[in-house]
Structure 1
Amino acid sequence: MATDTTPVDVGFRSERGPILVSLMLTTSLVALDATIISTAVFTIVGDLGGFSQFPWLFSIYLLTQAVSVPIYGKLADIFGRKPVMLLGIALFGVGSVLCGIAWSMPALIAFRAVQGLGAGAVQPMSMTIAGDIYTLAERAKAQGYLASVWGMSAVVGPTLGGVFSEYLSWRWIFFVNIPLCLLAAVMLIRNFDEKQIRTKRSIDYAGAGILAVGATLLILGLLEGGQAWAWSSPISLGIFAAGFVFLVVFVLVERRAAEPVLPLWVFTRRVLAASSLVSLLVGAIVLGLTTYVPTFTQGVLGTGALVAGFALATLTIGWPIAASQSGRVYLRFGFRVTATAGSLLVVAGTALTLSLSIESAVWQVAICCFVIGGGMGLVASPTLIAAQSSVDWSERGVVTSTNMFARSIGSAVGVALFGALVNARLGGADNPAQGDLAGALHLVFVAALGAAVVLVVAAAAMPKSASAPEVEDERADVRPPAVKE
């Protein structure tokens, strides 16, 4: 296992501050976009029409983001983080402009795909750059700052979406990204200077294309199964079969590729496989809860959208608080102990959701979410940092992107599983009674608890050797980044 052993010229701590601010700003693009559009859906539909098509505004974004992540990770290990991040910011900015001027629902859906391609670079590159410029002891706090962006966006996003839709125009939920993109790009260009060693490396175009098609079919089947078509329908079975065939072909191609876009060794090293499994489960639990906790708060407890949003926000508030402090824990006890403790907290939080009922108060929902968020901060960040610390600079991009790709797959699986449970219980009712809805969402909470139990097993599967005290507090970067004074 490669470890962080060679010092890197990263400058004084204050010199890295502007880079971290830039990373937080670029992360806010993705985080805000995930929440700001939710409160504007009905306004958009009222203007453009296409009510039956609006779920694709979310599906196509998640789809293009997920399938592009592994490709960006490999490109970052070849050409550097900076150009890939700038490409992602540019694509996200262009997609935002196009979404803002969209003239129909199909056009808006197509332009959301462009935004998703940009987000596919921004999120993993932010975490990869943070892993490059901060030492092992500092990475948890840096990841905590990045995670805090999601907490702030969970509160600010829906509010901004409502304000823009009601007082300006829904188009401003996209136009607001333009100055943010420009500012983030300028700050990154001015402050982050990578020292690159030019090496001749080939690009696995065939593998990238086959992976994109296979992953697209798999995620499409998961997102639309039980929604656009029945799970057992010929189109559903055909999509999954075709996706499986493409992924098998991808494995065969990657075994022969000189520079595979997604090296198969990321699935054979125990620390990387365990961290990816953890990330997959985190994606399933988090997206499932962020989808159905507001539904429970509004549909069962009878609150408004704003109160429901604040109840859910406690999850994304607890996460960065725990993540920022996780460094102290894993430096003393190791990655495996920290991740296992965090996953047990997630079990406790999801178990608490089973006690929620029609008579529950909103503060009880908030407490459940806060406990789950705290657990996530102790399991998600440390397992990612463990994976990053096990490789050098030339492999860190693909390792980080694989972790993010697993989370995207988990999100799609979570949406499919939880949606199937709700639909099966409600039988397709458009306006279910409070009691029926409460019963259906109870099944979601039971499934989340089951996923949390598996999360404990995945965290415990981290190798004992992947403990922070046994890893020196420096990096073995082949092409170290520098920071302009």
Structure 2
Amino acid sequence: MNDLEHLEMRQKVTIMIAVMTSMLFAALNQTIVGTSLPRIVSELGGMEYFNWVFTVFMLASSVTAVLVGKLSDIYGRKVFILTGLGLFMTGSFLCGTATEMIQLIAYRGVQGFGGGMIMSTAFTAVGDLFSPRERGRWQGLMGAVFGLASVLGPTLGGYIVDHFDWHWVFWIFLPFGIVAFILIWRMFPQTARGVKKKIDYIGSLFLVATIVPLLLAFTWAGRDYAWTSSLILGLFIASLAAFVLFILTERRAENPVMPLHLFQNNVFSLSNLINFLVGMGMYGAVMYMPFFIQGVIGTPATQTGFVMMSMTLAMVAASAITGQITTKTGKYKRLALIGLLIMGSGMYLLSTLDIKSTNWMAALYLIVVGLGLGTVFPIFTLTVQNAVSHKYLGVATSATQLFRQMGGTIGVSVMGSIMLTRMQEKMAESMPKGIPAGNHSALADQFQDPQILLSPDKLAQLKSQLPQAVTGIFDQLVLVMRESMGFALSGVFLVGMGLMLFALLLTLLLREIPLRTSNQETSGEEDGQEDDPSSSTKTHAHG
């Protein structure tokens, strides 16, 4: 598997262009859907299944990524990235042919399986081609690809549904996928370990049974179902039971899908925990800042995208620069600390925004968050890859993606519950007096859903439907709701700041292992000794 490291630089660069084209294709198809989905739902119907378009993709990609990580360590990366591209293109084409919501959800699942394979093998391929010392700049560039997709995708999605048929949202990038497939097929060498090992089917089954109910529970809790509902509690119990069975199975497995001894390596464990916290903070900012820009400041949806773009562009720049610095210096811990400090500071600045804030202030503070996020994003994949033997590269890399994805899912759910709770409490305190008793309850109920502030048309429609007696104070109610949402989101961003400070403290405990200048393994690594924390402490300097 390590033979790729010794390819000529020109061939390595060509392979990386193919890999990044694959990633760009997958990432664009993910980000383009968000802004175009309301139009798609209005044509296909099935509004009650709206969230499943995102949920099924997230579940499929998370499960596939972690399973393919181990399999690619055995059978090589090429077969999985090609299979992933094939599935993703098939899913994208089928999504464009959907005539009802259930079909679209099923085809998004196919996309998710392919996307998980692409993302898992793409980041691992960097580890095959370059030593840990060299990986920094390429990890940074791949982070920049994600950023570029999140800038172009939503803007292009909105443009397509406004000017063309919505089917082209899923079809427009298919030529990119075909080009990426041909490049990978022709340029990426076939690599596989000589010894084929038994696949851990039972462990894989229990791992899936752990992840899926857990992610579903956090996706639905606080939004579709109460946290204490029997469904949510049942999902948590099912996930816990599957996790216990997974641990028991992995201890006995000949070739475990997730080798438990990796977690004895404190660099691996700490890095993944930090990745989890960064995922919570990142998705918290990305998902809830548009609520503030549209709902509290009152910015139209199209301009909101441009304000959010400031964070993405800052992230792209910081990610590329951090990668270059890491490769040049071989150091990463100080960069990680600085990035988390900047990101935490940005979260604090976001918490100070209120109803009088401007789009320029929001954009400036988002730039701070983006700079911190771009600095941190590439580092903790690199620390994991550098801390484990090369034979575990695939499974270790997929673990970092899984922890970040789970952090994002759990973060969005928990922060959403915090936002709703704080908003309802603030509105109960601030509800204006003088509303006729008969209409108070009905009017208050209409204002319980924060989404209403994101739709000026819906607000105008609601105002026109109200009895004449309460239309006079309608604007006052909207003001109360905007102030309440600002108060609620301030709490969300403060939680994000706390998460970044916790991640900062954990990073202080992280040992800075010098970045290896070769993927060639010593005899100790081949025996798996590198993954033992005691031996690692003796052989590496503390950070």
TM-score range, shorter chain: over 0.9
- Relative to structure 1, is the Cα distance of residues 19 and 456 closer, same or farther in structure 2, using a 3 angstrom cutoff? same
Instruction: State the structure with bigger RCO (CA 8 A, min sep 6), 1 or 2.
Output: 1
- Relative to structure 1, is the Cα distance of residues 214 and 9 closer, same or farther in structure 2, using a 3 angstrom cutoff? closer
The answer on 1:164 being equivalent to 2:212 is: no
Letter in structure 1 aligned against 2:386: S
TM-score normalised according to structure 2 size? 0.83
Given the alignment, which residue of 237, 255, 276 partners 2:272? Answer: 276
1:375-408: CA deviation from partner (whole Å, max 9, x where unpaired):
2232231221121122333210000000000011
Measured in 1, the distance between the counterparts of 2:152 and 2:138 equals 21
What's the Cα RMSD here? 2.0
Aligned residue number for residue 400 of structure 2? 403
The more displaced of 232-241 and 294-303 is: 294-303
Give the match's secondary structure for 1:230. Answer: coil
Given the alignment, which residue of 346, 349, 353 partners 1:349? Answer: 346
Given the alignment, which residue of 22, 25, 29 partners 2:21? Answer: 25
For the 8 Å contact 1:138–1:327, the answer to whether it is kept is no
For the 8 Å contact 2:93–2:171, the answer to whether it is kept is yes
Measured in 2, the distance between the counterparts of 1:70 and 1:271 equals 19
TM-score normalised according to structure 1 size? 0.92
The more displaced of 333-342 and 452-461 is: 333-342
1:166-219: CA deviation from partner (whole Å, max 9, x where unpaired):
221211111124222211111011111134342121100111111112210000
Q: Which runs of 5+ in 2 are unaligned?
A: 425-447, 454-480, 523-543
Give the match's secondary structure for 1:401. Answer: helix
Measured in 1, the distance between the counterparts of 2:343 and 2:88 equals 33
Tell me the CA shift for residue 372 of structure 1: 1.8
Measured in 2, the distance between the counterparts of 1:152 and 1:140 equals 18
Aligned residue number for residue 129 of structure 2? 133
Measured in 1, the distance between the counterparts of 2:387 and 2:400 equals 13
1:123-174: CA deviation from partner (whole Å, max 9, x where unpaired):
1211111122123333121112111112222221112111221221211111
For the 8 Å contact 1:335–1:467, the answer to whether it is kept is no
The more displaced of 154-163 and 426-435 is: 426-435
Measured in 2, the distance between the counterparts of 1:382 and 1:315 equals 19
Tell me the CA shift for residue 9 of structure 1: 4.5
Letter in structure 1 aligned against 2:18: S
Length, aligned pairs only: 470
Aligned residue number for residue 237 of structure 1? 233
Given the alignment, which residue of 495, 518, 527 partners 1:474? Answer: 518
The more displaced of 301-310 and 251-260 is: 301-310
Letter in structure 1 aligned against 2:499: A
Give the match's secondary structure for 2:102. Answer: helix
The answer on 1:440 being equivalent to 2:524 is: no
Aligned residue number for residue 384 of structure 1? 381
1:216-239: CA deviation from partner (whole Å, max 9, x where unpaired):
000000001112211101111111
Runs ≥4 residues deviating over 6 A? none
Of the two, which has the highest radius of gyration? 2
Given the alignment, which residue of 316, 339, 357 partners 2:336? Answer: 339
Aligned residue number for residue 428 of structure 2? none
Tell me the CA shift for residue 266 of structure 1: 2.4
Tell me the CA shift for residue 412 of structure 1: 0.8
Aligned residue number for residue 429 of structure 1? 449
Letter in structure 2 aligned against 1:120: G
For the 8 Å contact 1:144–1:323, the answer to whether it is kept is yes
Aligned residue number for residue 454 of structure 1? 502
Given the alignment, which residue of 200, 203, 208 partners 1:207? Answer: 203
Tell me the CA shift for residue 29 of structure 1: 2.6
Give the match's secondary structure for 1:193. Answer: coil
Given the alignment, which residue of 310, 313, 317 partners 2:313? Answer: 317
Aligned residue number for residue 289 of structure 1? 285
Measured in 1, the distance between the counterparts of 2:163 and 2:376 equals 41
Tell me the CA shift for residue 333 of structure 1: 7.1
1:288-312: CA deviation from partner (whole Å, max 9, x where unpaired):
1111111211111222223222222
Letter in structure 2 aligned against 1:13: M
Aligned residue number for residue 41 of structure 1? 37
The answer on 1:15 being equivalent to 2:11 is: yes
Measured in 2, the distance between the counterparts of 1:87 and 1:275 equals 29
Measured in 2, the distance between the counterparts of 1:226 and 1:118 equals 30
Q: Which runs of 5+ in 1 are unaligned?
A: 479-485
For the 8 Å contact 2:143–2:377, the answer to whether it is kept is no
Aligned residue number for residue 481 of structure 1? none
For the 8 Å contact 1:93–1:177, the answer to whether it is kept is no
For the 8 Å contact 1:141–1:327, the answer to whether it is kept is yes
Measured in 2, the distance between the counterparts of 1:191 and 1:64 equals 28
Aligned residue number for residue 222 of structure 1? 218
